Structure 1
Amino acid sequence: MSRVLRLRRSRTRRGATGSVGRRGENPPIPPTPGGSMLPILSLALAHWRGQSATPAERQRYAELHGRAAAPVASAEALNELGCLWLAGQRDERLARGLFIAAARYGSLEALFNLGYIHWYGKGVAVNERKALAYYQRAAEGGSLDACYEMGQVYVGSDDEYLPTSRTVAADLQRAHQCFRIAAEGGHCEAMFALGDLLLGTDSSTRDEAGGLYWLMCAAGHGQPLAADRLARFYLDEPRLEMPDPGNLMGDFWRNYRMRREGLVTDEMEKG
């Protein structure tokens, strides 16, 4: 399983239950560069004024800056500003400072994004263990996205994206635990990842009934790869527990996938 990781902008939280990973030392949130909110915000604003941007982009930035610089700073706005600098104008040092500030004000999304920049070495040296600790801290605060990413770390799914060799060993049992917490909380991608893991070849995690259940949940939530995975299971793979006389289930999921692809194509053409 491979994926391209996306930054997490602020959104409504969904609660997570259970524990994730191995409890260790949580990374301390470093002090904001300059010792307060204003230096990093002033620096970000000065840099932004030197950038070319549309009027709408400038207005959006001004709104976020105003909320972040308010007497009670908005963690959401600080995190959004960090995303703008990391994914848009590309100043990774500024982005990290804004994520740190947002995390100090309680943003789980900023903790997640700090994990991202340490995992992929965005403006800092690659540090997988620190990244994992940030993900765990966000997950323990209720971030299902972080639970899901921890599962991806432990399943070893993103080696092709890493700039250096991995130092965190794969652990399918922990991956299963993390995916399950996120899936039970309603995280669609985690449903797919858990189902795919349970249909894998590793005997310690293989569970055909459980894998099919979670893949069907993911398909029902619109996950685009779930129906294809179900069709492949019934049509192309040896099955230990789930007979399919006449390929009825395989045909059903293949046709379901084709119908969904047709609907998506129709919507794109209409748009």
Structure 2
Amino acid sequence: MALLPLACDPRRQARAPQAGFNYQNWLILHAWLDLGPDECLIVEGAEDYDQIGKTCAVTNQVKHSGDSITLTRRPAAVSIGHYLYHRAKNGDRDIRYAYVTNAPPGKEPGSKLRTDSRGIEVWRACMNRDYDGLSDDQKHDLEVLPNLVRRPVQRGLGRGASIQAVERDALTYAAGFLDNRTSREFHEEVIANFIWSTECPSAEDLATAIVGKLRQRCDEWQASPGMVASSCHRLYYRVVEAATGYDGGRLDAAVLYAVVEEHIDVVTSP
């Protein structure tokens, strides 16, 4: 007799959130392997994970989505508000914000953008350039971008208590900023410090890349590439532990070395 699943209400299933957490953990593990000697990660810090260096911190918000991302949708506006909040609370530090997602940038409906119909691509093209070095069309588009962000801000705030308090607070920060800044200030204060990292690899591709990175570092542990690569599942679990607050959520090169070394000792012990 076939073993059949129980009849259920699909609305109560948490498959999408679980896929999001899994994707986030693989991204964190990948970032952990790429850390420099004077850097660390804080998991579930200001955002999903923060990369802390001596001179700069990048706080990363991870979004796993089956849809495209645009500036006229609430997740983008909320994230911009979160960045403004973090900047206000850490005024003495150099902070950047990264929106990390598997989703592609989408076209902005009803916009008057000239250089690209995708607002996020316009943003990225302007990010690392001085305002005075932008073309006339890019400066025109910089006038449009804040207006695109205003749409979801106004819609969200118009819903009042029906949205989560943390989102409402972020949208309030965004609204206050947008009402008091020129396009030049928007460029210098937000665009130059907000990274759109879109179309990131899938969880499966990240796992494959991580195993490859571990194999390349086998000399550090004086073990075979296969032995080091087999520590991947233990490192993943250590990311999960960090997300629950273990050791303050901190991951760095020393912790990485210790976890892999412990795994090798366990596997090779008689």
TM-score, structure 1 as length reference: 0.24
More helix by share: 1
Greater RCO, CA 8 A, separation 6+: 2
TM-score, structure 2 as length reference: 0.24
